[in-house]
Amino acid sequence: MIFWKNQYNLLVKNPLTTFSGGIINNKKNMLWKVTVIGRPNVGKSSFFNMFTWHKIAIVDDVAGTTRDIAEFEYTDTDNDLTYILADSGWLDFGSKVDEVAEDIIERTDLAIDDSDLLIWIIEYDKLTELDEKVLKLIQKKGFKNYIVVANKADNENKQMEAWSLAWRWELEFFPVSVSHNFWIRDVKRYVAKYLKDKGLNYLVEEHDDSFVKLAMIGRPNVGKSSMINAIVGKDRVMVKDMSGTTRDSVDTKFKYEDTDFVLIDTAWIRRLSKIWTRNVENWSVMRSERALSRADIVAVVVDWFEWIVQQDLSIINRVLEEKKWLIVVVNKWDKVLNKEGVNKETMMNRYINYLQEKIEFIPWVSVIFTSAIDKKRVNEILERAREIKVERHKRVKTGILNNFLEQVIYKHPPTGNKKSHSPTIYFGTQADTNPPKFVFSVSNPDHFHFSYKRYLENRIRDNFWFEGTPIIIEYRWRGKNTGKIK
């Protein structure tokens, strides 16, 4: 069984992992995990990003910016091995801990238990009370597999000063400077040696276009994280009954029936007018944009009871601009059915008609009514995504397309504009897939009325389907009028 567990391009073959009906059962992660821990604002996320050479973890001066466990499947090409590097949330032992903080601390605690090696980050010149509490937590758990990395040792003098702290522990100690990338290679060498001495020897491979990369996006508090939890069958993403709790994008790789998926959860998407309020929110929106660009299929989650608001339309427009496959997931369907006297088919048809009025520019959109809480019809999202992927890669033979085009033009000749009343199409071909792109050789692209592209698109969909995916239609001027379709 091929399974997951990273944010980017690598897989591990895991015979102990099974997936059935949307449920993942993972007895033991085949890749070993190295987790970065430490008190707030000590440089954990900066270290994580420098170590992996990817800006994955959000870095901000605000304590507690890391609100979920960011993971990266790191391949050490120098030592020919791969392992999971995790950036934990903060470990804060203050008296005032809110609900979200409690959830983050609990996740960090579980990440420690699930780790094979800990990298404990401190500052080179001091050991604070919070650092002492982190150490006590490690010792309380009886965890002996950890090393100390003393950050901000920017020169040799500071490095020597850092060694004055090393006598406290009989374990590996590394003074480093994350901001200058000093001595981090020493940490990598030690981690590689430690894991190889433990017998790590796993083969990894890159995934290709056979994977369906599905992103769940939407405005805050519509149920994106709950929907992902329902699909993968475990509490992979932090879920609280408040808007804006998901900051970091989290990927989950899995196999559904005979198809390999990468489920991409995005950070919350704010209205553009509110991005400036905190720099970390700006980061989150940038991460969402990046996740959108990485996805193949985008499921826009909306709330049944709030209908379609302007922010939903803005998100859909971004999906269209990126030429992504589109599914509208209408969440909280269970609450609709729980009302007395509700006819399911009537309510569905009414909502679909409403959607067609709101987003009439995309009549090909797939609509799925689900309940993340009850996990009803969530697998239909995966089934529809598989179908759309087939449509996305479908190709129409040139001969069949031109026979079809001849009939279409006969029924409705090209409509001209003020520049010309008789524009001409000579022939057409499907130039590309993913997304489908049709190129039509014409007398002059500027002579066609804008509405004729819509007509061609509608007829192509009527005959060749292409459900759930945008179609690109391009006029290409060929100059000389030869080979005309009559």
Domain ranges of the chain: 31-201, 206-392, 398-477
Segments in 256-397 forming alpha helices (H): 279-294, 310-321, 333-337, 344-358, 379-392
- 8 Å CB contact between 450 and 460: no
Q: Which CATH class is domain 206-392?
A: alpha beta
Q: How far apart are the first and last CA of the chain?
A: 55
pLDDT score for 4: 30
Q: H or E stretch including 197?
A: helix 184-197
Give which of 471, 483, 465 is closest to 426, Cα–Cα. 483
Cα-based torsion angle of the residue sequence 93, 96, 99, 104 in order, rounded to the nearest 10 degrees: -20
The series of mean pLDDT values per 10 residues for the chain, 486 residues long, is 29 29 35 85 86 64 52 79 78 58 68 85 88 85 86 88 80 88 91 84 57 86 84 65 54 82 64 40 56 84 89 86 88 86 87 83 82 88 90 92 95 87 91 93 92 93 86 84 50
| Residue 73: C-alpha distances to residues 48, 190, 381 (Å) | 12, 18, 27
Give which of 75, 100, 294, 334 is closest to 188, Cα–Cα. 75
pLDDT score for 46: 87
Give how far the C-alpha of residue 72 lies from the chain's centroid of Cα atoms, to the nearest Å. Answer: 13
Please classify residue 230 by burial: count the beta carbons closer than 10 Å to its beta carbon, then call 0-12 exposed, 13-18 middle and 19+ buried.
Answer: buried
Q: 81-119 burial, b if ≥16 CB within 10 A, otherwise e?
A: bbbbbbbbbbbbeeeeeeebbebbbebbbebbeebbbbb
Residue 136 and residue 252: Cα distance in Å, rounded? Answer: 33
The predicted model scores a pTM of 0.59
Alpha carbons within 13 A on the beta-carbon side of 70:
29
Give how far the C-alpha of residue 450 lies from the chain's centroid of Cα atoms, to the nearest Å. Answer: 35
Residue 448 and residue 421: Cα distance in Å, rounded? Answer: 9
Same fold, 31-201 and 206-392: yes
Q: Name the DSSP class of 448.
A: B
Beta strands 81-87 and 70-76 are antiparallel
- 8 Å CB contact between 255 and 261: yes
- Structurally, what CATH architecture does the domain formed by 398-477 represent? 2-Layer Sandwich (3.30)
Alpha carbons within 13 A on the beta-carbon side of 87:
33
- Structurally, what CATH architecture does the domain formed by 31-201 represent? 3-Layer(aba) Sandwich (3.40)
Residue 486 and residue 480: Cα distance in Å, rounded? Answer: 16
